[in-house]
């Protein structure tokens, strides 16, 4: 049976997202030409929250809707032959598109790097950004591809038999992150906090 160990709570997740927003602004020298694309499902919600913090920090950044979107990577994954039945996510890009813009890909957990590689392939279908950066809430290690995040909320070394499960209120009813040891139980963290997964 899997056991869940808490690693992030609501307040800490909020502070991390505020820090990432400020790091993105500083690295980009302001909000000009920025677009944040979240990798569904939780990366999308994180991208929206970071975009809200960007606008709060830089009121001239424009409406939040112009700063963020989502990027479905399903059809670009390299494990489709192993798990061919997958629900498609949603790709939604701000009206100005991605050409010659600085795109920040946003995801909840970075591990092997394979999802990010799929995101880069999916992004190339949409246009040609001037630069692409990566922001993640948690980096748990175990990289299989030469991919590194530019903005990391928390570096969290984990064992090979552990999984990091991020829960967000928009999807799960609660903001939380847990490390699950043993057979993956996607509801373990939700049961601990009273939230649910969908």
Range of the domain at 34: 10-159
Could you tell me if residue 188 is inside a domain?
A: no
Residue 198 has pLDDT above 50, yes or no: no
Task: Give the tokens for residue 138.
Answer: 């948690």
**CATH number for position 19:** 3.40.50.2020
Could you tell me if residue 129 is inside a domain?
A: yes
Tens-place pLDDT, residues 34-78: 999 999 989 999 999 999 999 999 988 889 999 999 999 998 887
Nearest residue to 104 via CA among 50, 164, 168: 50
What is the C-alpha separation between 136 and 9, in angstroms, rounded? 16
pTM assigned to the model: 0.87
Mean of pLDDT over the chain:
88
- Confidence at residue 61, expressed as pLDDT on a 0 to 100 scale: 86
Number of compact structural domains in the chain: 1
């Amino acid at each position: 049976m899997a056991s869940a160990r808490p690693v992030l709570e609501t307040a800490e997740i909020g502070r991390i997202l505020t820090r990432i927003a400020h790091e993105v602004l500083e690295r980009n020298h302001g909000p000009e030409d920025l677009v944040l694309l979240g990798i569904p499902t939780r990366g999308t919600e994180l991208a929206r929250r970071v975009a809200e913090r960007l606008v709060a920090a830089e009121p001239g950044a424009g409406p939040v809707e112009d700063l963020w979107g989502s990027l479905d990577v399903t059809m670009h994954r390299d494990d489709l032959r192993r798990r061919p039945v997958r629900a498609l996510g949603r790709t939604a890009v701000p009206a100005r598109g991605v050409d010659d813009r600085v795109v920040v890909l946003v995801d909840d957990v970075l591990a092997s790097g394979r999802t990010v590689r799929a995101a880069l392939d999916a992004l190339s279908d949409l246009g040609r950004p001037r630069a692409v950066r990566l922001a993640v809430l948690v980096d748990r290690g175990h990289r299989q591809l030469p991919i590194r995040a530019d903005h990391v909320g928390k570096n969290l070394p984990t064992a090979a038999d552990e999984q990091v499960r991020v829960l967000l209120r928009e999807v799960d009813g609660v903001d939380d992150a847990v490390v699950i040891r043993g057979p993956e139980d996607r509801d373990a963290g939700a049961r601990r906090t009273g939230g649910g997964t969908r």
